[in-house]
A and B are shown apart, each in its own frame.
Chain A
Amino acid sequence: MRRTRAVESWTLIPLETFVEETGARLTLLMTPAGQVLAQYGFTRAVDVMAAAALGAAIFSSTTEIAKMLREREFAAVNHQGVRHGIFLGSFSTRRGRLLALVVYGPDSSVGLVQLFFEDLVAKLMAASPEKVEQRPVLAADFERELTQSLASLFGR
């Protein structure tokens, strides 16, 4: 069964390659606002939404810390646990700034994730289409778009 799902199809192949090369357990591609573009490994929508919200919050917090240190931003953050590590990296594409949240286990490493993250960024940059004009989100459209996105992310 295919475990990589994408709302935006141009992210699919780079993400599949990244997951295969790093052995990542879970991966999310999302905007800094927490809107998910693609996911690997999640089985429940609630987990994707929680992880995206928390990932976006971590990015937002570290951006503020970077400002306090007069850094432009932190390109990546790694949280190392006993059994799992969490890597959060930000990068630019033609579609704007994106984040990758990667959870890896003892069969991978932060070095591998960092190494193939560089490749992922290059491939996403090459594959990304031009930025589309953002239209205002209407309440009437919101639920339908959310349902469509979740259906794409979980193949339902």
Chain B
Amino acid sequence: MSERFVRALERITRIGGVQGAMLVAADDGLIIADASMEGVRGNAVAALAASLAKRFTRVSKAATVGAPRFLHLQAEQGTLIVVAALGGVLVVTMGGADMNVGLARLEMLRVAEVVA
């Protein structure tokens, strides 16, 4: 099962500028499957991205716009993207400033479908 997920994640990691992609349990903040480059603290990214998604869910629900589907965090030296899949799973991708965000998002939505 996990191998199938890793293969799905590799569709994302093939995109230029992507440093890693993972499936994360939204409630637990734990990694389900990981395809990240060496040096990426996967467990830290998973836990903090899930925490971020949880907080944004509260914000968007308070704003009566429903649960967030797509989070895009643009940092000084890179980007973090989170897509919510069905079943309480998050697809998380991190990359450099040169990452093709549009393509990454497209592949992340495909991965979300595979997971669902």
Measured CB to CB, the residues of A under 8 A from B are 80, 106-112, 114-115
Contact = CB atoms under 8 A, between A and B. Distances in A.
Contact of B43 (A107, A108, A111): A111
Given A112-B29, A115-B47, 12 more contacts: A109-B27, A109-B28, A109-B47, A109-B51, A110-B28, A110-B29, A111-B24, A111-B29, A111-B47, A111-B51, A112-B51, A114-B30
Nearest to A110: B28
Interface string B46-73: 1110110010000000000000000000
Interface string B71-114: 00000000000000000000000000000000000000000000
A30 B54 CA distance: 31
Contacts of B25: 111
Contacts of B30: 109-111, 114
Contacts, number: 38
B27 to A, nearest CB: 6
Contacts of A111: 24-25, 28-30, 43, 46-47, 50-51
A87 to B, nearest CB: 11
A39 B27 CA distance: 26
Contact of A114 (B27, B43, B51, B54): B43
Contacts of B28: 80, 109-111
Interface string B27-50: 111100000000000011011101
A111 B50 CA distance: 9
B48 A115 contact: yes
Nearest to B44: A115
Given A114-B47, A115-B43, A107 B29 contact: no
A80 B27 CA distance: 11
A107 B52 CA distance: 10
Kindly name the residue among B30, B48, B50, B51 whose own CB sees the greatest number of chain A CB atoms within 10 A.
Answer: B51
